[in-house]
Amino acid sequence: MRLLVVGGGGREHALCWALRRENPEAQIYCAPGNPGTAELASNLSIAADDLDRLADAADMHGIDLTIIGPEAPLAHGLADRLRAEGRLVFGPSAAAAQLEASKAFAKEVMFAAGVPTAASQAFSDLAPALAYVDRHAEPLVVKASGLAGGKGAVVCATRAEAGKTVRAMLEGDQFGAAGKTVVIEAFLEGEEISVLALTDGRDVELLPVAQDHKRLLEGDRGPNTGGMGAYSPVALATPALLERVKREVLYPTLEQMRRQKTPFSGVLYAGLMVDAEGTPSVVEFNCRLGDPEAQVVLPLVSGGLTDSFMRVAEGKTPSSLELGSQAAVTTVLASRGYPDAPETGAAIVLPKSQAGGVTVFHAGTTRGQDGVLRASGGRVLTVTAVAASFSEAQRLSREAADAVRFEGKIFRGDIGWREAARRAERSPAAAR
Ligand code: AMP
């Protein structure tokens, strides 16, 4: 089997790792990949958004299945392009990827389908947007409608701040074209979880539920980032809650997408806020695996992943995934200055050996002619630990994060703190 993974971050390294584990004999390519994927796959130096060259490469290497990692190439129509050339692709069409690429579109789908989500309205003109802010209760959330690398949502404590943010997006250039339409919505209280479903557009197969840590600093303070760490599974996500999420969120959304002739296949990722009563509301949809969620979710799947990707690409119901009872925690190692202006170029020293269950996924690294591994992006590495218990995985991930060395390394040592608190509350003795 010949597989092509498109993308070059931690998620794609985790994809290559999971595919390699299930398919020791497969020929795996990764475009553009990174020094981590180079150990598992053949890297092709083609950017993830270079549709022409990717289509040529799929042809040249006789690719049987392409798995598209990031949202941008999906939104630009890479899946459509490859399908038009008769190839099997895991990932939605450009029209279906609008569920992530346009928050205004996603909100319309949710309202049409009766999916629970915050009250909101989309605006491209300043005056009506400011009038909306004036009419609504604080706090408000102002979002760039387009793709903004997970950083386009601003929680505003006051109307004045919301007004300023709306102005900055519609008049200024912080998010470029992505901010020329804004969605203004009510603030939702609760705890967030990420429910990732493999889907052919009709049926769903859930991956283990994850919780991301968007804020830069420990205790969930500081600016929003692409994600500073994640863990899985999440005890808050009971089987009863997940049934409800399927019934109230996933199935109605997929049905609405079919109804409006933009059927969705691939990973439907629902970012949910669960309130104190256990009621879920959608904060956002993504059209692909999360990063860093993939780095905890994929290692917990012990079989059935490749088969599911293939079946979904063929338009068939995803097969059942084999899931064990282990837990995973991943800690992102970022560069000083992230998310605004990360430093790059620092030499990275990885420990010679890792504890069992620990995998270091590369996110923003390069290896120069001199063979030295260097930081090349804001998020540099993600350190995943899989263990029999959550607390063991948390400890191992933190220790392994600590053991990696590079100048300017920053990371959160509290990934999974909500889960730890939940466990301590339930069983104080066990948590000690
Ligand atoms: P988004 O880009 O829509 O995923 O938003 C990024 C982050 O902002 C989310 O993960 C939440 O932490 C926060 N956020 C977005 N929308 C809301 C909301 N309506 N209420 C509370 N927090 C939100």
pLDDT tens track for 104-113: 999 999 999 9
pLDDT, tens digit (0-9, with 9 covering 90-100), for 325-368: 999 999 999 999 999 999 999 999 999 989 999 999 999 999 99
The pLDDT score that the predictor gives to residue 430 is 55
Query: Is pLDDT of 431 > 70?
Result: no
**CA–centroid distance, residue 280 to ligand 1 (Å):** 14
Average pLDDT over residues 139-144: 97
The pLDDT score that the predictor gives to residue 308 is 98
Query: Is pLDDT of 388 > 70?
Result: yes
The pLDDT score that the predictor gives to residue 150 is 75
If you search the block for the tokens 């104080």, which residue do you land on?
A: 428
Query: Is pLDDT of 371 > 70?
Result: yes
CB of residue 227 inside a 6 A radius of ligand 1: no
Task: State in Å, rounded, how far the first CA of the chain is from the last one.
Answer: 48
Residue 155 tokens read as: 């929680």
**CA–centroid distance, residue 282 to ligand 1 (Å):** 9
Average pLDDT over residues 374-393: 97
Query: Is pLDDT of 133 > 60?
Result: yes
**CA–centroid distance, residue 153 to ligand 1 (Å):** 6
pLDDT band at 427, cuts 50/70/90?
confident
Query: Is pLDDT of 429 > 70?
Result: no
Query: Is pLDDT of 432 > 60?
Result: no
Return the best residue to mutate from 155, 194, 211, 217 for the ligand 1 pocket (most ligand atoms within 8 A of CB).
Answer: 155
Query: Is pLDDT of 385 > 70?
Result: yes
**CA–centroid distance, residue 292 to ligand 1 (Å):** 16
Q: Which ligand 1 atom is the nearest neighbour of the CA of 188?
A: 20
Q: What is the signed CA dihedral for 6, 12, 17, 21, rounded to 10 degrees?
A: -50
Query: Is pLDDT of 190 > 60?
Result: yes
The pLDDT score that the predictor gives to residue 312 is 98
Contact 100, 285 (CB under 8 A): yes
Return the best residue to mutate from 138, 140, 141 for the ligand 1 pocket (most ligand atoms within 8 A of CB).
Answer: 141
pLDDT, tens digit (0-9, with 9 covering 90-100), for 255-301: 999 999 999 999 999 999 999 999 999 999 999 999 999 999 999 99
CB of residue 374 inside a 6 A radius of ligand 1: no
The pLDDT score that the predictor gives to residue 425 is 85
**CA–centroid distance, residue 372 to ligand 1 (Å):** 38
Average pLDDT over residues 394-416: 98
Query: Is pLDDT of 59 > 60?
Result: yes
CB of residue 154 inside a 6 A radius of ligand 1: no
Average pLDDT over residues 232-256: 98
Residue 424 tokens read as: 């301590």
pTM of whole model > 0.85? yes
Return the best residue to mutate from 283, 286, 287, 291 for the ligand 1 pocket (most ligand atoms within 8 A of CB).
Answer: 283
Q: What is the mean pLDDT of the chain?
A: 96
Share of the chain above pLDDT 90, in %: 94
Residue 322 tokens read as: 């084999």
CA dist 201 → 95, 260, 311, 334 (Å): 13, 12, 12, 36
pLDDT band at 77, cuts 50/70/90?
very high
The pLDDT score that the predictor gives to residue 16 is 98
Residue 327 burial (10 A CB sphere; 0-12, 13-18, 19+)? buried
CB of residue 188 inside a 6 A radius of ligand 1: yes
